[in-house]
A and B are shown apart, each in its own frame.
Chain A
Amino acid sequence: MAKVLVVTSGKGGVGKTTTSAALGTGLALRGHKTVIVDFDVGLRNLDLIMGCERRVVYDFVNVINGEATLTQALIKDKRLENLYVLAASQTRDKDALTQEGVGKVIDELAQTFEYVVCDSPAGIEKGAHLAMYFADEAIVVTNPEVSSVRDSDRMLGLLASKSRRAEQGKDPIKERLLLTRYNPERVTKGEMLGVEDVEEILAINLLGVIPESQAVLKASNQGVPVILDDQSDAGQAYSDAVDRLLGKEMPHRFLDVQKKGFLQRLFGGRE
């Protein structure tokens, strides 16, 4: 049975799309047929991060409106056999997504895919609501910073009450924390909330910690999900997170200040 994951955060710019692209690609790398769905109608960006922006012909809203079939709208990744993207529409119509329409598309995707990764827009408006509504599991992307942590807590409240699972009285959405843009050096100096602090405040399981990394911008510049840069710290941290998502026990890396030599740094050696 397919698993529907939502990548959400409340606050914008914390790394939802980067995370959706990385986790979706990581699942496909491990042989799972995966689709990443962009819910940010009006401001689509997943296509750019995935490097398929010039191949978008039909989008999510076209499928909902019956202007295209799902097969026509799904964009197959050029690098990986098992990976597909469903782009968001650039329409300015806020009501383009309907609960009924989205539900139909998700259920249809769930028949052919093992994982459906929903990339939520920021905020708590309709797009964000619909991205989480059908989810089985949620990945709450948070930066170690006050406004992001508070917004994440707000999203946890919504995940618990405003979902199909909650309304049907099923088991609640499994919530997991992904702490991104983590800077161990600043944590040591007492300038940044540590991973234990954020875990304590939000009180949910930790999926992973992604270090603040130059690799993320380099990857998005090129339209390559950062997880494919397996030499980078962020790429490796995302890779560990995918393994944990699949139930593997992985120790958390990159939590401490890296004391590496120049050459090691250059070649991104593992611990």
Chain B
Amino acid sequence: MNIFDFFRERKKDTASIAKERLQIIVAHERGQRTQPDYLPALQKELVEVIRKYVNIDQDQVQVALDDQGGYSILELNVTLPDR
């Protein structure tokens, strides 16, 4: 990388930044739109069950439903606290 590239990199125009940010947030929100209505409730109940045994916060559990066409994968990601 020469010095010109360095400056060009830093002067990335704001319209491209806007486009990138929009592509990410729009894709994320479209994903949420297609998720079934029960998913937030499912996540909440799962947290409550896990909390009976381990002390965790709501945001330490991620529930994602990935539609693979013929079948769906329910992915549960729990971050357990340090012992």
Chain A residues near B (Cβ < 8 Å) = 145-146, 149-150, 153-154, 157, 187, 189-194, 197, 200-202
Among candidates B16, B18, B29, B33, residue contacting A146 with C-beta atoms closer than 8 Å: B18
The B interface, classified by DSSP as helix, strand, loop or mixed, is helix
The A interface, classified by DSSP as helix, strand, loop or mixed, is helix
Given contacts A150-B25, A157-B33, 14 further A-B contacts (CB under 8 A): A145-B18, A149-B22, A149-B26, A153-B29, A153-B30, A154-B29, A157-B30, A187-B15, A190-B15, A191-B15, A192-B15, A197-B15, A197-B18, A201-B26
- Residues of B near A146 (CB, < 8 A) are 18, 21-22
A-B contact pairs, 17 of them (CB 8 A): A145-B18, A146-B18, A146-B21, A149-B22, A149-B26, A153-B30, A154-B29, A157-B30, A190-B13, A190-B15, A190-B16, A191-B14, A192-B15, A193-B15, A193-B19, A197-B19, A201-B26
- Residues of B near A194 (CB, < 8 A) are 15
For residue B2, CB closer than 8 A to chain A, the reply is no
Output the least CB separation between A91 and chain B (Å).
33
Whether A189 pairs with B19 at a CB distance below 8 angstroms is no
Whether B26 pairs with A150 at a CB distance below 8 angstroms is yes
- Residues of A near B26 (CB, < 8 A) are 149-150, 153, 201-202
Interface magnitude class on chain B = 10 to 19
Contacts A153-B29, A201-B26 given; indicate if A189 touches B13 (C-beta within 8 A). yes
- Residues of A near B15 (CB, < 8 A) are 187, 190-194, 197
Whether B22 pairs with A201 at a CB distance below 8 angstroms is yes
For residue B77, CB closer than 8 A to chain A, the reply is no
- Residues of B near A154 (CB, < 8 A) are 29
Within the assembled complex, what's the spacing in Å between the Cα atoms of A190 and B14?
6
- Give me the 10 closest cross-chain CB pairs, A-B, nearest first: A190-B13, A157-B33, A197-B19, A190-B15, A153-B26, A146-B18, A201-B22, A193-B15, A149-B22, A193-B18
- Residues of A near B22 (CB, < 8 A) are 146, 149-150, 193, 201
Q: Which of B10-55 contact A (CB under 8 A)?
A: 13-16, 18-19, 21-23, 25-26, 29-30, 33
- Residues of A near B14 (CB, < 8 A) are 190-191
- Residues of B near A145 (CB, < 8 A) are 18
- Residues of B near A190 (CB, < 8 A) are 13-16
Within the assembled complex, what's the spacing in Å between the Cα atoms of A154 and B15?
21
Q: In the complex, what residue of chain A is closest to B23 when comparing beta carbons?
A: A201
Q: In the complex, what residue of chain A is closest to B26 when comparing beta carbons?
A: A153
Output the least CB separation between B33 and chain A (Å).
5
Output the least CB separation between A269 and chain B (Å).
29
Output the least CB separation between A173 and chain B (Å).
16
Output the least CB separation between A189 and chain B (Å).
7
Among candidates B13, B30, B33, residue contacting A191 with C-beta atoms closer than 8 Å: B13
Q: In the complex, what residue of chain A is closest to B16 when comparing beta carbons?
A: A190
- Residues of B near A150 (CB, < 8 A) are 22, 25-26, 29
